[in-house]
Structure 1
Amino acid sequence: MGALDLDEGPLTLHFIPYPSPGHMIPLCDIARLFSSRGHHVTIITTPSNAQTLHKFVSHRLRLHTVNFPSRQLGLPEGVENLAAVNSVEDSDRVHEAAMLLRGPIECFLERNPADCIVADFFFPWVHDVATKLRIPRLVFNGFSLFAVCAMHSMYANNPMHLDAYSNVVRDLPHRITLNATPPKVLVDLTKPLLETELKSHGIIVNNFAELDGEDYIQHYEKTTGHKAWHIGPVSHICRTAEEKTERGQESVVSAHKCLSWLNSKRANSVLYICFGSINQFSDKQLYEMACAVEASGCDFVWVVPEKKGKENESEEEKEKWLPRGFEKRNVMKGMIIRGWAPQVLILGHVALGAFLTHCGWNSTVEAVSAGVPMITWPVHDEQFYNEKLISEVRGIGVEVGAEEWDVIGFVEKKKVVGRESIEKAVRRLMDGGDEAQQIRRRARELGKKARAAVEEGGSSHKNLTSLIDELKRLRECRK
């Protein structure tokens, strides 16, 4: 069937995001991409999460809410997202509650036919539902394709017991040695999800082909027989300062305050520190971080996770994680943000010189898009793979040397990364030396490619067009 035979009417797509900011925000940006091309999109979510997404509603994008069984799992009413909890037990309850959404979501899908279902890979049951309803399914997992390739390689080359796992990732286009060994519980969780993912029509990747690299795209398709569609960086759907500030949860600091402070700083002089929405460090680790930042002499924006229940902590409590007098001494040099920050807006400012990051994929691709080099400090999930893409494969960052790989960011760390290691990594990027200049140049070049990818004629723009055409062909075949 040729392209001229395709029905040019808009597609109808249903999106099912997982209730965690790192999953929900990019998938909803992808939904907005499809609606911006004139297609009818429904995001299926829960009441509390809908409150952060209502601003995206338009005549082509709507929200459908299903009740979240918070009370059934012993969670407070309205707690419907991993960002709203701060313990392993409660995060498990949120996940279990999310799995109970199958019934009401399946009822909605049965009553509202679609041309495609786009679901997070944490919902493997969508495969059975889509198969029963004969609806094509695309999967979003929020990882880079590089990380997906590395995970497939690790799982294929190691037997399923922890002692046999090594730090070496084999059979990739590059020889990769990780700084830690993946936890067995993480392997047990992700391996079946990746296997179910391969039964879908393809995966959507929040990245652009030039960052993952054609060698990894070809490697993935050759070794799995599966299709990957690079259509990112999807954060570029946010064009204005207001859109960048409103992306995700409500920011605790205004765009005007952030921009005014950054405007007072020299180009490349500010260190941005943020470890995502669900990572927590001990007071001792935060103290080491503060000492290192102060010793480096850099201007900084430091996003500290809100300490739930300790919003009005005493000076005595604060001094457990912040050296005495730190804020007073650094009143001109630093901005501490307690809670959610407008990250895309901050990273895009010319004053930014480096980003100290946990290597979560959204943060990584946002930094690359802005041309900002990174200081890598992975914590959990696939972040140790992302670190190697940043530091070794693309050469746009330096490593702190973190070696403790957890399954989730709430886990208390056994090791503390010392202030000397942190300060050394910061100085490597912020001192303006030859190494820093070369890393910064590579980061800027990739930033230009990221912006070009999403413009008309760019690789991601073409991939989205190709994916839309593919879904229309599938629609014709089902008639």
Structure 2
Amino acid sequence: MDNMNKNLEVVIVMVPFPAQSHLNQLLQFACLISSSHNLPVSFVGSASHNHQARVRSNAALNPSYIAKIHFHDIPTPDFDSPAPDPNALSKFPAQLIPSYNACTLLREPIALLLRELSTKSRRVVVVHDALMSYNVQDDCSLHNTESYVFNCVSVFFMYCSFVCIPNGLPIPLDEDLLKKVPKLEADAPDEINKLVDFQLQFRDIGAGDLYNSNKVLEGASLDLMAKIASTENKKQWAIGPILPTKQDHVSDKRNKCLDWLDNQPPRSVIYVSFGSSTTFSDKEVMELAMGLERSKQKFLWVLRYADRGDIFTGEARRFELPEGYEERVKGVGLVVRDWAPQLEILAHPSTGGFMSHCVWNSCIESITMGVPIAAWPMHSEQPLNGFFVTEILKTGLLVREWEKCEELVTASVIENAVRKLMASEESDEIRKRAEELGEAVRQSTEKGGASRLE
């Protein structure tokens, strides 16, 4: 009888790509599945990247949910973990390429794990990052296993980049908007383009797609993708946002920046963060520092170097600020040099804006919390995400045009963008739209809502 019950078990296997925003989204989804459906979930990756996912997990995630996840640490051959180059012309995080390449060596151990689980379980469901498609291809040889692609980017980006552009099709927007679509040129090294192409050869093996988005946000793009999916006999679900919209536990590790926010007026602070993959030059940091100070607006600025491939090796360089800067802005601005709890910051009532590089993870968090965005895209899908937020959703504004991405963004440009987002008549309209959209997105995750139904 025990064996029979064991064989009835459904097991979920999550296979993330080893980049912070990807690890974060898959871990959130793992917690959502485990807590909502009480199903066993395995999170599979190299030991260092699994550790990274746990260490940097959203403070808003209940630790008891993470404790239920089974982390399978796969030994990964040594890879180079160089420091980021702050003076590189492209903002693409080339220092991470060795770690990305190393992940292609996980196919065999993942196949062994899937075979083992398939003999013990009635059904194995693999949810994998699109950029880990090569690694999970052996699920096809197992009679009780199927896989689904988890897309960590916006549906709008997916449709533009994988349907319209390769096939020479027009992006389905009106003429005025089409003129504003950023002209994308490959900004990634050839090595990463080859890796992406290599992985995506195998993405069609899966039974369907999952999107960290929903019909409230991207109904038009989802409908277009659904037509394509139906011709390929694929399924798709828009299940986002997968992040916790309500905190159901009291954290014993409250970050000091939240205490600082507690003492600021409602919606008065702009949160400034460019994620884990962007490194500014010393000159760029100085311009940003001066722009924030001159804006006379309250700010919380996360100032960190970009990640190495292994975040637990090597020392991160510390950025220098103008002499006396942090003392001078005391009470108006706070500079945070450690990992910051982004979701909690965005959910805080004192946060009224977000200056962001517009990776989808940050966009979906900001949109869900109803916080308008000062969009400053850096590389990859970010220019299209910035366009989507500012021109389609109209819940943000651009700091600078993508066509000027290789030019230095001056203090005066930054000052004007901050004031426009935080203290102008236009900002009142943007904030109203952002708050209304955030409320609609949060409702979609409640019982009977679009995301919950999906």
C-alpha separation between the residues in 2 aligned to 1:271 and 1:380?
22
Of 168, 175, 181, the residue aligned with 2:184 is 181
Paired position in structure 2 for 1:133: 142
What CA distance in whole angstroms lies between the structure 1 residues aligned with 2:66 and 2:152? 25
8 Å CA contact 2:149, 2:210 repeated in 1? yes
Alpha-carbon spacing, 1:150–1:193, altered in 2? closer, same or farther (3 Å)? farther
Q: Give the corresponding residue for 2:428.
A: 437
Amino acid at match of 1:120: D
2:113 to 103, 108, 112: 108
Identify if the C-alpha distance between structure 1 residues 49 and 157 changes in structure 2 by more than 3 Å, giving closer, same or farther. closer
Name the counterpart of 1:53: 54
Which of 140, 148, 152 in structure 2 is aligned with 1:142?
152
1:327 offset after TM fit, Å?
Answer: 1.1
**What secondary structure is seen at the aligned counterpart in 2 of 1:353?**
strand
- 3-state secondary structure, aligned to 2:156: helix
Equivalent-residue separation in structure 1 for 2:167 and 2:296 (angstroms): 45
Q: Counterparts of 1:362-401 in structure 2 under 5 Å?
A: 362-401=361-400
SS in 1 for 2:434: helix
Partner of 1:337: 336
Question: Cα offset for 1:58?
Answer: 6.5
User: 3-state DSSP class of the match of 1:450?
Assistant: helix
Map of 2:5 onto structure 1: none
| Structure 1 residues 106 and 368: alpha-carbon distance in aligned structure 2, compared to 1, 3 A threshold | same
Structure 1 residues 47-93: Cα deviation after superposition (integer angstroms, max 9, x where no partner):
223334385667853122111212xx345xxxxxxxx9535564121
Which piece of structure 1 moves more, 370-379 or 98-107? 98-107
Superposition TM-score, scaled by structure 1 size: 0.79
Give secondary structure in 2 for the equivalent of 1:236.
Answer: coil
- Write the distance in 2 (CA, Å) between the matches of 1:150 and 1:35: 33
Aligned residue runs from structure 1 range 288-327, under 5 A: 288-306=287-305, 318=320, 322-327=321-326
- 1:449-460 matched pairs, under 5 angstroms: 449-460=440-451
75, 83, 86: which is aligned to 2:84? Answer: 86
Greater CA drift, 9-18 or 438-447: 9-18
Q: Whole-Å Cα distance in 2 between the matches of residues 283 and 371 of structure 1?
A: 32
TM-aligned CA deviation for residue 293 of structure 1: 0.7
Residue 234 of structure 1 aligns to a residue whose secondary structure is coil
> Which of 120, 132, 135 lines up with 1:123 in the alignment?
132
Structure 1, unmatched stretches of 5+, are: 1-8, 76-83, 159-168, 246-253, 406-412, 464-479
Aligned-pair CA distance for 1:173: 4.4
Mapping for residues 10-21 of structure 1, pairs under 5 Å: 11-21=10-20
In structure 1, the residue matched to 2:407 is: 415
One-letter code aligned to 1:239 = Q
CA drift of 1:381 comes to 1.6
* Identity in percent: 29
Are the aligned partners of 2:31 and 2:69 in contact in 1 as well (CA < 8 Å)? Answer: yes
CA spacing shift, 1:182–1:44, aligned 2, 3 Å: same
Q: Identify the residue that residue 170 of structure 1 maps to in structure 2.
A: 170
* 2:203 corresponding residue in structure 1: 197
2:355 maps to: 356
Return the alpha-carbon distance in structure 2 between the equivalents of residues 100 and 211 of structure 1: 36
How far the C-alpha of 1:306 sits from its partner, in A, is 3.9
Cα distance in 1 for residues equivalent to 2:38 and 2:173:
38
> How far has the Cα of 1:223 moved from its partner?
3.5
Give unmatched runs, 5+ long, in structure 2. Answer: 1-7, 56-62, 86-92, 308-313
Residue pair 1:373, 1:443 contacting (<8 A) in 2 also: yes
